[in-house]
Structure 1
Amino acid sequence: MKFDTPSSPSLRWDIFCRVIDNHGDLGVCWRLCADLAQRGHAVRLWVDDASALAWMAPKGCAGITVHAWPDDAAMQSLAQDSTFNIGDVVVEAFGCELPEAFQALMAQGRLPIWVNLEYLSAEGYVARSHGLASPVMSGPARGMTKWFFYPGFTPDTGGLLREPNLLEAPTATTTPSGGTPSTVTTSQTRQSKFDRAAWLAGLPLDKPIAANERLISLFCYEPAALPDLLKQLSQAATPARLLVAQGRPRAAVAAATQALHMSSRGAGLLHISQLPYLSQTDFDHLLWACDFNFVRGEDSLVRALWAGKPFAWHIYPQDDLAHHDKLQAFEAALDMPADLRKFHAVWNGLETGPLPALSRTAIDHWHAWGHQTQQRLLAQTDLTSLLLSFVAQKR
């Protein structure tokens, strides 16, 4: 069931997000906020560090207001403001704890639907836990119910974030006079309108991209196999352009080139170019433009899936190595080819030894899997539509 039609009820949403050590949580929350707003809902985003939105979403989005995480003074002000009302839905993203004073306001008057939006995983507990109730047993919101909402890769989970105009082309069926019904496209997707050559030409790069260069985007943490990748690409028979994201990827590449005594701009047939901070729209375009994408975390993983291109996921490393199980569950859920699993194992440090060759043959082979996976996931309902349906059932 989808709620992006004029007859759908417009709801007020309060979405809470804490930025831990990277920008992925904020990226996911902003995409959710924007998707809701574009479907006619009013959204307040409460975040403890909104600075990344300056480059992530420089144009903002109509229907969204951004607020600082409310401290005690702010909560006292809200409590005394007779015009302030809690939203119809309150989303606690990734287990961030709502301020107790905000919980107290929630408990007054009509109770909102309280959703805990969890992290994305392909592990078995996701389907078992999705949609379960969590009664609040103590504190100012005692007696209320919090609902767990788990994103996932199968129809029995909360799905993946995908705005309606990203890949799906709405169609209409017409019947000409005396003729056979035909299907015509009534609107284009963002991806179908993407001009790859023009977008690449507009990037502020140190050197224009050559027609014969393989394009590889790099968004990662600090993989131990990075020097191996750079050395491999520099010695390959095919020219490659490595497009490096700002932040930790740029620092990791600087350290790797120094360790290899390689120029910061590459060596041999490898040329390294540094990217500026990209908006979410331009980051999508980067993934669409490249032949292979290195992504990390959650938000960029999902966008790599929608790009339909081959990719390697650098999963967020955890001290207890829980990320190993998470990666292997993801590989199994999406039927990843064995050679690409091997590449992931070395890239993520599950296995030692040389990084498998990122050859043109391998990339071409993995491309078929990327496209098939995109189409398979596209057949499932998107997260926002499922969330709206879930909220409608609980109201």
Structure 2
Amino acid sequence: MQADIFCRVVDNYGDIGVCWRLARRLAHDFRWDVRLWVDDLASFARIQPGIDALSPRQRHGGVDIVHWSDAPDPALTARDVVIEAFACDPPAAFVDSMHRTHPAWINLEYLSAEPWVESCHGLPSQRPDGLVKHFFFPGFTPATGGLLREPGLSAERDALQTSVPRQESFLRSIGVPDDALLLRRNGARTVSLFCYPAAPAPALVQALAADPRASVLLAPQGVAPGLDAACQAPGAPRLVRLPFVAQPDFDRLLWCADINFVRGEDSFVRAAWAARPLVWQIYPQDENIHLEKLEAWLARYPAPESAQALIRAWNQPETGLTASAVAAALAPAGWQAWAAAARQWDASQAALPDLAENLAGFCADLAKKR
């Protein structure tokens, strides 16, 4: 298959994070010829070293990368498959070229646990110009498109999680200093934090400071800037600021943590594959529609009520309940149940076909009907 994937960066790293993982998966494991169109190469470069933010055309990791500008190269026309990520609409000239090839046109939708997704997954939408677009929904059930997951991911994760020396070697390689590693070795909890600006990060620091177990808090540079001052208080967690890293290293970072605070879609799915407790900050939407989507996921996520209360508080900072919710979720009984639930959630989702596998099969079926 020859495919074009179109990505407009809205959520800084989530959109390109999903598209880059999908592009590599289709190119490497399914031997597709993939062109990835990206409008914001600067954000792309932060999560993938080697990307030139100023280059109109480049190749990286077996994928042809095109800067999606206002005036795209007219020579780049549609081929077998067109994937528009999150309803981003390909350029008009490119759509015109689709009338000649009639490719499998996929609208890769946002991830949702809402029940209606199952009935809409795979449905066609007939356009007045004769082209047909199909909706493809990632999800958590066999009736959806599944979640992105690379072959061998569980084995690689387990090998790292069962080896303290390997964890320390990795963490040192991305900038975690020796004093923080010593705290981990002596029993400190490792917390990774990747959040939106509205997250109640100071309340998290307050709760960790009050906990009898010490904590090491790992956060990307520039995220939650109030952390630096909050972590100066007595008993506060040891804050380590890390650079943005390539996606495989981000996965390993999540594997090394005891609990992962994540945001958006890409880091949420990767935290699930870490098989460790996670707190998801969902992308905020007008009229709090995102909270309905959060509840749909919580209805499926088997964590105890203390963990679910923390996830709700994290997404509603105005309630002021985050600090007390963190304390309750980290209490021994609740924590053990949450850790078991995280492993159960990973195993149940890993038993399903992954999104790239489902998508490749779906496009192959469409091609047979052309």
Q: TM-score range by the shorter chain?
A: 0.7 to 0.9
Of 112, 116, 122, the residue aligned with 2:113 is: 122
What is the aligned partner in structure 2 of residue 284 from structure 1? 251
Deviations 1:165-201 (A, max 9, x none): 212xxxxxxxxxxxxxxxxxxxxx3224432122123
Query: Equivalent of 1:23, from 13, 25, 41?
Result: 13
Task: Give the direction of change, closer, same or farther, for the CA distance of 1:291–1:360 in structure 2 (3 Å limit).
Answer: farther
Pairing 1:35-114 to 2, within 5 Å after superposition: 35-39=25-29, 40-58=31-49, 61-72=60-71, 74-76=72-74, 78=75, 85-108=77-100, 110-114=101-105
1: CA distance, partners of 2:358 / 2:236:
47
CA drift at 1:252: 4.4
Task: Write the deviation string for residues 179-232 of structure 1: whole angstroms up to 9, x where unpaired.
Answer: xxxxxxxxxx32244321221232323543221211000011134532221111
Q: Helix, strand or coil: the match of 1:20?
A: coil
**Larger radius of gyration, structure 1 or 2?**
1
Structure 1 partner of 2:330: 359
- In 2, the alpha carbon distance for the partners of 1:269 and 1:230 equals 6
Change (3 A) 1:232 1:334: closer
For residue 245 of structure 1, report the CA deviation from its aligned partner: 1.8
The residue aligned with 1:154 is 141
Q: Measure, in 1, the Cα distance between the counterparts of 2:248 and 2:146.
A: 21
RMSD (Å) for aligned C-alpha atoms: 1.9
TM-score between the two structures when normalised by the length of structure 1: 0.83
Structure 1 consecutive aligned stretches of length 4 or more whose deviation exceeds 4 Å: none
User: For this pair of structures, how many residues does the alignment match?
Assistant: 344
Cα distance, 1:376–1:107 mapped onto 2, change above 3 Å: same
> What is the distance in 1 between the residues matched to 2:45 and 2:96?
32
CA apart distance, 1:97: 1.3
Tell me if 1:191 matches 2:167: no
Which of 256, 262, 267 does residue 300 from structure 1 map onto? 267
> Please, which of 290, 294, 314 is the counterpart of residue 347 of structure 1?
314
Query: SS of the counterpart of 1:198?
Result: helix
Give the corresponding residue for 2:209. Answer: 234
Check 1:224–1:350 CA distance in 2 against 1; reply closer, same or farther (3 A cut): closer
Residues 46, 245 of structure 2: 8 Å contact kept: yes
Superposition deviation, residue 21 in structure 1: 4.1
1:320 aligned counterpart, secondary structure: helix
CA distance in 2, matches of 1:120, 1:298: 7
1:267 aligns with 2:234: yes
- Matched residue type, 2:48: A
Aligned residue for 1:251, secondary structure, equals coil
Structure 1 residues 381 and 351, CA, compared in 2 at 3 Å: closer, same or farther?
farther
Write the distance in 2 (CA, Å) between the matches of 1:197 and 1:297: 28
Q: Is the 2:118–2:144 Cα contact (8 Å) retained in structure 1?
A: yes
CA contact (8 A) 1:201 1:208 kept: no
List runs of 5+ in structure 1 lacking aligned partners: 1-10, 79-83, 168-188
- Residue 319 of structure 1, CA deviation: 2.1
More displaced stretch, 311-320 vs 55-64: 55-64
Q: Which runs of 5+ in 2 are unaligned?
A: 52-59, 161-165
Residue 135 of structure 1 deviates from its aligned partner by: 0.8
- Paired with 1:267 and 1:107, the residues of 2 have a C-alpha distance of 65
Q: Name the structure 2 match of 1:186.
A: none
Residues 196-207 of structure 1: matches in 2 within 5 Å? 196-206=167-177, 207=179
SS for the counterpart of 1:215 is: strand
**Corresponding residue SS for 2:286:** coil
Q: Note the C-alpha offset of 1:276.
A: 1.0
Percent identical pairs in the alignment equals 41
1:90 is paired with a residue of what secondary structure? Answer: strand
Could you tell me how far apart the structure 2 residues matched to 1:36 and 1:85 are? 19
